[in-house]
Each structure stands twice: as C-alpha cells, then as structure tokens.
Amino acid sequence: MGKIGWIDSHAHLAYQEYDQDLPQIITNAKERNVSRIMIVTLTDDETRKALTLNEQYGMFDVAYGFHPSDLDKISENGFEVLEDFLKNRQLKAIGEIGLDYYWHNDNKEEQKAVFIRQIDLANKYEVPIIVHMRDSASDTLDILKKHRPIKGGIMHCYSGSVEMAFEYIKCGMYISLGGPVTFKNAHTPKEVAKAVQIEWLLTETDCPYLTPHPFRGKRNEPAMVELIGLQIAQLRGMDADDLMVKVAENYYRLFDQSCESYVK
C-alpha cells in the first residue's frame, strides 16, 4: 500500500554518486517525510542494483528504459534484458525514454523509432512510461498521440509551455515538476505549476541533477523534493499538506497502487 508523504517520481539513486552515503541519503529523505521514490535507471546493472535497494529499504519503485542520448549503447540483447525485467514484473514503468534534440540533432528518426518501440513494450506489459523531452515538444506530442501509452505516464522534469502541458495531459501524461520551479528566473515552470490541474501534477528531484534553490551547486537528493512541493503549494496558494496528499494520490493512481488514507 502506498504511504502518503512527499513523492520523488524521478531519482537516479543507483548512480555511483550515492555509493558512499546512501543510508544517510535515505535517512535524510525519511526525515523530510518523503514516502516513495522512483529510481530511474539507465543500464541493466543499475536496474539490478535498484531492485536490491528496494529489497533493503522497501520505499522504491524502479523504472528502466533506453535514454535517447544512449542510442549507441542499445542492442537487441539489451531489449531482451529489458523485456525480462518486465516479464518478471520488476519494473513499475519504462523510462526514461523520449526525444532529445538538444544533445543529438542528427539521429531524430532513430530516436523516434526507439521511443515508439519502448511505448509498444510498455503497452504490452501494461506499465506507464516516463518521458524525457528536450527541444522536441511537438515531435514528442505527435508520437504520444499516434502511439498512445495505454497506462499513461509522466512528463519528467517538465519544462515546456502551459499550452503543451494540457496537450500531454490529454494523452494521459502527468506533469512532473523538479528543481527549476524553485529557480528565481524560471518563469515557465512557475506558470505550469499554477495552471495544471492538481490531479495531473507530480514532483521529482531528478537527483543528482537540478538541485533546487537555495542549494544550487550542491548534489541533489530526494529529501529536497520537499522544497519543490513547498514552492508549488505557495505558487498555487494552497496548503502544503494538501498538495503533498494530492501528489501522493496521483502517483499511486498512476501506478495502480492503493493508497492509505491520510489523517491530518
């Protein structure tokens, strides 16, 4: 059953960056009332590591998929391994997958094909997808419309416009906001935080990247998702506890997990 608390829907906790002090990172998260963390992995080794961590701590979900920046590392064997994890019901989602035209502008068709293939796989095993999108808003929308993820998914660290956010929501995609919503000069994420229906909002750190204000420059960690939640609550003029409950309910609804009722 899903516990109510802050949700970090995107954390790279299987990265080597955390090997030295992971128990402390988990303690910090619990102290800030973080109740569930989605560990997003980029390799099969990281995936196995994340699954082991969950056996130890019991507060993680695991998502694995081929990132659009890693196309040169993909093989047919890699797809078989990904599918094995899905057959064993070890993944809650496929991700992060998508299109990144910021770093890679010369292989768009290949990126699209790998994205679509992974959406098809998510639909076959009935799991949501987690989407990475950079400088590719309209192509991403186009694919989501034509290859609808039947269990929906998450637009991770969403940095697009308010108008496009509503279009992704129509495709069953939740809008997840991260550290940039706390940055003073980040106008658009703040507009999105105010405009998107509360039923479609999620929170994340994308740690170790995108550390929220006032800790920019330091390594990010799940405990800091509270700062993101507090900022969104303030922007929406709502009680932080109410926002925390809504976001947790959204997360557990997306991943088909029942959610314990929250008593203030």
Q: How far is the CB of 66 from Zn ion (least distance, A)?
A: 13
Sheet with 34-41, strands from edge to edge, namely 6-11, 34-41, 60-64
Give whichever of 112 and 134 is closer to Zn ion, judged by the CB atom.
Answer: 134
| Cα–Cα distance, 215 to 18 (Å, whole number) | 17
The size of the interface with Zn ion (CB under 5 A), counted in residues, is: 1
Binding mask 158-197 for Zn ion (x = CB under 5 A): ----------------------------------------
Q: Which residue is nearest to Zn ion, using beta carbons?
A: 206
| Cα–Cα distance, 96 to 32 (Å, whole number) | 26
Q: How far is the CB of 242 from Zn ion (least distance, A)?
A: 28
Give whichever of 61 and 206 is closer to Zn ion, judged by the CB atom.
Answer: 206
Residue 174 pairs in a beta bridge with 154
Q: How far is the CB of 177 from Zn ion (least distance, A)?
A: 14
| Cα–Cα distance, 58 to 26 (Å, whole number) | 11
Angle, to 10 degrees, between the axis of helix 162-170 and the axis of helix 137-146? 20
Q: How far is the CB of 39 from Zn ion (least distance, A)?
A: 10
Cβ atoms of residues 97 and 68 within 8 Å = yes
Give whichever of 8 and 206 is closer to Zn ion, judged by the CB atom.
Answer: 206
Burial of residue 71 (CB within 10 Å: 0-12, 13-18, 19+) is middle
Give whichever of 206 and 226 is closer to Zn ion, judged by the CB atom.
Answer: 206
Binding mask 28-67 for Zn ion (x = CB under 5 A): ----------------------------------------
Name the segment binding Zn ion (CB under 5 A); options: 99-107, 201-209, 213-221, 226-234: 201-209
Strand extents, DSSP E, the chain: 6-11, 34-41, 60-64, 94-100, 129-134, 153-155, 173-177, 201-203
| Cα–Cα distance, 111 to 68 (Å, whole number) | 6
Cβ atoms of residues 13 and 53 within 8 Å = yes
Q: How far is the CB of 68 from Zn ion (least distance, A)?
A: 11
Name the segment binding Zn ion (CB under 5 A); options: 160-168, 198-206, 232-240, 242-250: 198-206
Name the segment binding Zn ion (CB under 5 A); options: 54-62, 116-124, 142-150, 205-213: 205-213
Name the segment binding Zn ion (CB under 5 A); options: 14-22, 25-33, 50-58, 200-208: 200-208
Q: How far is the CB of 132 from Zn ion (least distance, A)?
A: 6
Q: How far is the CB of 152 from Zn ion (least distance, A)?
A: 18
Give whichever of 4 and 122 is closer to Zn ion, judged by the CB atom.
Answer: 122
3-state secondary structure of 235: helix
Q: How far is the CB of 157 from Zn ion (least distance, A)?
A: 7
| Cα–Cα distance, 82 to 94 (Å, whole number) | 9
Binding site for Zn ion (CB under 5 A): 206
